Amino acid sequence: MHVVVNAAMSADGKLSSRRREQIKISGSEDFERVDRLRADSDAVMVGVGTVLADDPSLTVDETELLPQSDDGTPRQPARVVADSRARTPPDARIVDDAATTYLLVSGAAPVERIKALSATDAEIVTAGETRTDLDAALDVLEAAGIEQLMVEGGGELIHSLFAADLVDELTVFVGPTVIGGRDAPTLADGEGFIDEFPALQLDGVERMDGGVLLRWSVPVSEPNS
Ligand SMILES: NC(=O)C1=CN([C@@H]2O[C@H](COP(=O)(O)OP(=O)(O)OC[C@H]3O[C@@H](n4cnc5c(N)ncnc54)[C@H](O)[C@@H]3O)[C@@H](O)[C@H]2O)C=CC1
Ligand SMILES: Nc1nc(O)c(N)c(N[C@@H]2O[C@H](COP(=O)(O)O)[C@@H](O)[C@H]2O)n1
């Protein structure tokens, strides 16, 4: 599986405000690029923090970019939520019938939450005891035919993916604004690294929407000899 993390951040590295409300950082050119990246991916993933904050649909707007299903309708990429305790609301847009949705829960998810979500069309994948085991869960997705996985955030999930060495590419739009706030989400939150910081290779820099798009890849780490 190829994992591409994509996000938009302010010039000071924030994904949204301290109120955790979605902020429009990208301009039209970047949003069109994101739409194409979604269309080129087999699935689009977020953490449940993003679902609770933004209620995203994660669908492709330009449906001409999509392949056709057997019934002739455009086939949207699947949606994926890392959701250890099954906190996704059953009426969230991400579990509507626009696309297949996988909810990656852990063994700690309360039975009544799982029951409520089982009434939606979402497929529930259990991996990990108290927190979603991303390595194991991504293996399940790969077995289901997901070869390119796009991850849109937020900062907790992105940190965990780097910590588990699961990221292949990182694209970041850095927009022309300052959000500030010590508690505002950043590109990689979680506990943070104190050594063995993930290394990146810069593959491209492009001016866009008054900001800049940075394309990074994650070099394959050499096994210890
Ligand atoms: N500017 C941008 O491109 C984007 C901004 N955002 C913003 O990010 C914020 C949400 O980000 P966060 O609060 O960091 O939440 P998040 O979206 O990263 O979700 C974190 C949650 O995912 C669940 N989870 C399950 N397994 C996990 C694992 N192994 N590792 C980490 N988390 C796991 C946990 O419940 C955890 O609390 C919102 O304010 C949203 O607007 C989100 C996506 C894109
Ligand atoms: N790429 C990008 N640029 C911005 O300026 C943003 N605010 C975001 N936010 C993320 O986009 C997702 C919303 O998806 P839908 O449009 O509802 O499909 C969600 O994950 C936001 O946090 N992204």
Domain harbouring 185, CATH code: 3.40.430.10
**Cα–Cα distance for residue pair 101/95, rounded to 1 Å:** 6
Residue nearest to atom 2 of ligand 2 (CA): 8
pLDDT in tens, 77-121: 999 999 999 999 999 999 999 999 999 999 999 999 999 999 999
- 222 part of a folded domain: no
> Which protein residue has the closest C-alpha to ligand 2 atom 18?
58
Whole-angstrom Cα distance, residue 186 to residue 9? 8
pLDDT, tens digit, 9 for 90 and up, residues 5-23: 999 999 999 999 999 999 9
Residue 110: domain span:
2-217
Which residues sit opposite 153 in a β-bridge? Answer: 46
- 204 within a domain of the structure (yes/no): yes
- Give the Cα separation of 67 and 164 in Å (integer): 32
Give me the sheet containing 148-153, strands edge to edge: 123-126, 101-105, 78-82, 43-47, 148-153, 2-10, 169-175, 211-217, 201-208
List, for residues 157-192, the tens digit of each pLDDT value: 999 999 999 999 999 999 999 999 999 999 999 999
CA proximity to 5, closest of 210, 125, 156:
156
Distance CA 121, CA 71 (A): 19
211 found inside a domain: yes
Domain assignment present for residue 77? The answer is yes
**Cβ(48) to ligand 1 under 6 A?**
yes
pLDDT on residue 112: 97
The amino acid present at 140, given as its one-letter code, is V
* Alpha-carbon 104 to chain mean position: 13
* Domain membership flag for residue 225: no
Closest CA to 84 of 38, 52, 37: 52
Closest CA to 23 of 33, 11, 35, 32: 11
Spacing, Cα 111 to ligand 1 middle (Å): 23
- pTM over cut 0.90: yes
The tally of domains found in the chain comes to 1
The answer, yes or no, to whether residue 225 has pLDDT greater than 90, is no
Ligand at shortest distance from the CA of 44: 2
CA distance 147 to 135: 14
Residue 223 has pLDDT above 80, yes or no: no
Rounded to whole angstroms, the Cα distance separating 81 from 47 reads 5
Give the per-residue pLDDT at 70.
Answer: 85
Residue 223, in any domain of the structure: no
For the CA of 16, the nearest atom of ligand 2:
7
Residue nearest to atom 12 of ligand 2 (CA): 56
Q: For residue 127, give the 3-state DSSP assignment.
A: coil
DSSP H/E element including 37: helix 28-39
Q: Which residue among 45, 58, 63, 189 is best mutated to probe the pocket of ligand 2, counting the most ligand atoms within 8 A of its Cβ?
A: 58
Q: How far apart are CA 12 and CA 214, in angstroms?
A: 15
With respect to residue 224, please indicate whether it lies within any of the assigned structural domains: no
Q: Quick one: which of 146, 125, 179, 183 has its CA closest to 8?
A: 179
